[in-house]
Amino acid sequence: MVEPQPESQSESQSSYSPQNFWGKLQQSAKQAGRTVVENALSLYYAAQEPTTPHWAKLVIYSSLAYFILPTDAIPDFIPMMGYGDDLSALASAMVTVAMAITPEVKDKARATVTTWFGDSDIKRSSEPDGPQAGDQVREIVIE
């Protein structure tokens, strides 16, 4: 899947646009991490759905604009904390518009993230919660 490429960097970085969104992801995906990227993509793909209500799209685009914004509460270049505020904004938006984030939207975001980051041991939504019959039991010693 080929995603749109960002337009020139002279565009305003302070407002949402698809070009700014893809540019931010391209520049910061590794530093932001899988969770931030997957949340951002889930919101982006939900906003593209024709069934997503207008109010939900406003919430989504507001959180994506915050993600794009180069000056936010905690600057993105600060290691281990820089994307914490972005993750909070994206997670809050995801909770607010949860009804618009369908399993198809989640799967599309997860597929894109898997393509970019590779497959990992992240639990799939189709997997049952909790231990299942036949699971191996591991003892964890806490001292």
pLDDT, one tens digit per residue, over 32-61 is 888 889 999 999 999 999 999 999 999 999
Cβ contacts of residue 116 below 8 Å, gap of 6+?
Answer: 29, 37
Cβ(22)–Cβ(16) below 8 Å? no
Cβ contacts of residue 26 below 8 Å, gap of 6+?
Answer: 5, 6
Mean pLDDT in residue range 65-74: 75
pTM exceeds cut of 0.85? no
Q: How far is CA 93 from CA 44, 62, 63, 120, in A?
A: 11, 9, 6, 25
pLDDT of residue 17: 81
Domain ranges of the chain: 18-117
Could you tell me what percent of the chain has a pLDDT over 90?
33
Report the mean per-residue pLDDT for the chain. 76
